[in-house]
Amino acid sequence: MMYKSKVDIVYEQLLSWIIQGKYKQGDRLVISHIARTLNISEIPVREAIRRLESEGYLKIYANAGAVIDCFDKNTLTSIFQIKSVLEGYASRLSIDYITEDTVRDLEKINDSMRNLSEVHGDELSDLNMQFHLKMYECIPNHELYTMIVSLWNKWRITRTVFKVSSVNRDESVREHERIIELLQQKEYDELELYVRNHKLRAGMNLINSI
Which helix H or strand E contains 68, and what residues bound it?
strand 65-68
Question: What phi and psi, each to the nearest 5 degrees, are found at residue 61?
Answer: -110, 150
pTM of the model as a whole: 0.76
DSSP string, 86-124: HHHHHHHHHTTT--HHHHHHHHHHHHHHHHS-TT-HHHH
pLDDT in tens, the chain (210 residues): 557 899 989 988 998 888 777 888 889 999 999 999 999 999 999 999 998 888 778 889 988 899 998 767 788 888 899 999 999 999 999 999 999 999 999 999 999 999 987 666 678 888 999 999 999 999 999 999 999 998 888 777 776 666 655 567 888 999 999 999 999 999 999 999 999 999 999 888 877 776
Q: Going from the N-terminus, what domains does the chain have, and what CATH number goes with each?
A: 6-68 (1.10.10.10), 73-209 (1.20.120.530)
Can you tell me the distance from the alpha carbon of 149 to that of 166, in angstroms, rounded to the nearest whole number? 24
